[in-house]
A and B are shown apart, each in its own frame.
Chain A
Amino acid sequence: QALMVQSGAEVKNPGASVKVSCKASGYTFTGHYIHWVRQAPGQGLEWMGWMNPTNGGTITAQKLQGRFTLTRDTSTNTAYMELSRLRSDDTAVYYCAREVADSTGTSGLFLDPWGQGTLVTVSS
Chain B
Amino acid sequence: QSALTQPPSASGAPGQRVTISCSGSNSNIGTNSVNWYHQLPKTAPKLLISRNNQRPSGVPNRFSGSKSGTSASLAISGLQSEDEADYYCSAWDDSLNAVVFGGGTKLTVL
Contact = CB atoms under 8 A, between A and B. Distances in A.
B31 A95 contact: no
Contacts of B32: 106-108
A42 to B, nearest CB: 10
Contacts of A78: none
B54 to A, nearest CB: 9
Interface in B65-110: 88, 90, 92, 94, 96-104
Question: How many residues of A sit at the interface, in one of the four size bands?
Answer: 20 to 34
Given A95-B45, A110-B51, A115-B44, A59 B35 contact: no
A16 interface: no
A50 B101 CA distance: 15
Contacts, number: 66
Contacts of B18: none
B88 A44 contact: yes
A107 B33 CA distance: 6
Given A106-B92, A107-B33, A45 B101 contact: yes
B101 A110 contact: no
Interface in A45-70: 45-47, 50, 59, 61-62
A100 B103 CA distance: 22
A50 B92 CA distance: 12
B50 interface: yes
Nearest to A49: B98
A68 to B, nearest CB: 13
A111 B51 CA distance: 11
B44 A117 contact: yes
Contact of B45 (A45, A50, A107, A108): A45
A111 B101 contact: no
Nearest to B32: A107
21 contacts: A37-B45, A37-B101, A44-B2, A44-B103, A45-B45, A45-B88, A45-B90, A45-B101, A45-B104, A47-B98, A59-B98, A95-B44, A106-B92, A109-B99, A110-B33, A110-B35, A110-B50, A110-B51, A111-B45, A111-B47, A114-B44
